[in-house]
Amino acid sequence: MNPGIKSKIILASASPRRKELLARADIKFDICLKSVDETVPAGMNPAEGAEHTAAVKAMAVSFINTDAIVIGADTVVVLDGEVLGKPKDKEDAVNMLKKLSGREHTVITGVCLACGEKYETFHCESKVRFYPLTDEEIKHYVASGEPLDKAGAYGIQGKGMMLVESIEGDFYNIVGLPVALVVRRIKEIEKRHEN
């Protein structure tokens, strides 16, 4: 099912998961990356921080691609108000998974859609609950190498599926992009441009 997007679309992300999700949704897009400072300003909550980072990524690409709608995204895992980013090493991954074990956390993807100098940001939140995990399960999962490049030290679309007891909300948001929501927002932008 083609979503009927007429605009040129650029994804400002190197994430193979976001690339795969857009491709599976039949969206034609190019990839363009710019190196940016992803430091989140002090005082922002996790959702604001994710939107800020998504905007920085999208706007850097949008300034040189003014004829396209640029998608920037940033996914964070939040437990007790603390943002769990990508683990620094295997030990860090083990510690993160121990924190998440048997508990519910929130996955937030901040999205920015930029077109020239105009842009809009929004976010999507999903809840994930992990089964209580044994030290052996954690060690085995970390040894696979999968958690090392992922926020919160797990990939729900990969071997990390074995850790998950339940989810609430958009599954694809947890993977890295709430595709259906993004498509709807792009269509709204296109409608505004037509009028």
**Catalytic residue numbers?**
74
Residue type, 164: V
CB contact at 8 A, 73 and 119: no
How many angstroms separate the CA atoms of 113 and 178, rounded? Answer: 13
Residues in CB range of 106: below 8 A, 6 or more apart: 46, 77, 78, 79, 125, 126, 127, 128
CA atoms within 13 A on the CB side of 103: 13
Dihedral sign for Cα atoms in the order 58, 64, 30, 182? positive
Dihedral sign for Cα atoms in the order 21, 173, 179, 117? negative
